[in-house]
């Protein structure tokens, strides 16, 4: 297995390695975000990850992914404390416009639909409910990243999904403990 990995890497140019390196940096930022139980910190770290993924996808020539990540930077910024209906409508309109202008294949459609679904979750949900919907979006991005050849993207979505599942379990456990304490039950 290591021989296969070494063979795959040795066949890459320096430019290709640098492009994949940017994707791996983006992955690192995004993983840090999804490990956070604090929603505000989650959004701020996510902004860094989306910025790096926008650059990564631009370098890959994956325009839907690049555009979705640029809009996702604005989405994460506004979702922190401006979750009103006007902001939601503007962000959803930006993603829909991106889809109309850039989608050329069914795989592109996944990368265009995932942020629309994720945006709705970020603006209307919080805690474990928001992260559960984001898990679905991760599966859509995983498929896109596989098709685009984004190593960082693939590893990111696999790891984000795992971390997100653990974080959801932790948030649900805390919710159950709080509900048990509030009802007078012994934790």
Tens digits of per-residue pLDDT, 53-102? Answer: 999 999 999 999 999 999 989 888 876 777 788 889 999 999 999 999 99
For residue 157, what are its two tokens? 């979505």
Residue-averaged pLDDT of the chain: 89
| pLDDT at residue 151 is higher than 60 | yes
pLDDT band with cut points at 50, 70 and 90 for residue 30: confident
Nearest Cα to Cα of residue 66 among 118, 120, 122, 26: 26
Q: Where are the domains of the chain?
A: 2-182
Cβ proximity of 76 and 29 under 8 Å:
no
pLDDT band with cut points at 50, 70 and 90 for residue 45: very high
Cβ proximity of 79 and 122 under 8 Å:
yes
């Amino acid at each position: 297995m290591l021989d296969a990995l070494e063979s795959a890497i040795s066949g890459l140019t320096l430019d290709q390695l640098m492009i994949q390196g940017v994707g791996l940096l983006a992955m690192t930022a995004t993983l840090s975000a999804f490990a956070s139980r604090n929603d505000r910190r989650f959004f701020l770290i996510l902004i860094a990850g989306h910025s790096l993924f926008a650059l990564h996808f631009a370098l890959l020539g994956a325009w839907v992914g690049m555009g979705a990540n640029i809009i996702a930077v604005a989405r994460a910024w506004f979702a922190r404390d401006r979750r009103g209906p006007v902001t939601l409508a503007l962000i959803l309109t930006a993603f829909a416009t991106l889809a109309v202008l850039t989608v050329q294949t069914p795989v592109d459609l996944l990368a265009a639909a995932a942020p629309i679904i994720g945006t709705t979750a970020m603006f209307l949900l919080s805690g474990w409910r928001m992260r559960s919907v984001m898990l679905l979006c991760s599966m859509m991005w995983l498929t896109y990243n596989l098709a685009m050849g984004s190593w960082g993207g693939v590893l990111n979505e696999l790891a984000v999904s795992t971390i997100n599942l653990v974080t959801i379990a932790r948030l649900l456990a805390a919710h159950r403990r709080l509900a048990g304490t509030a009802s007078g039950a012994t934790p």
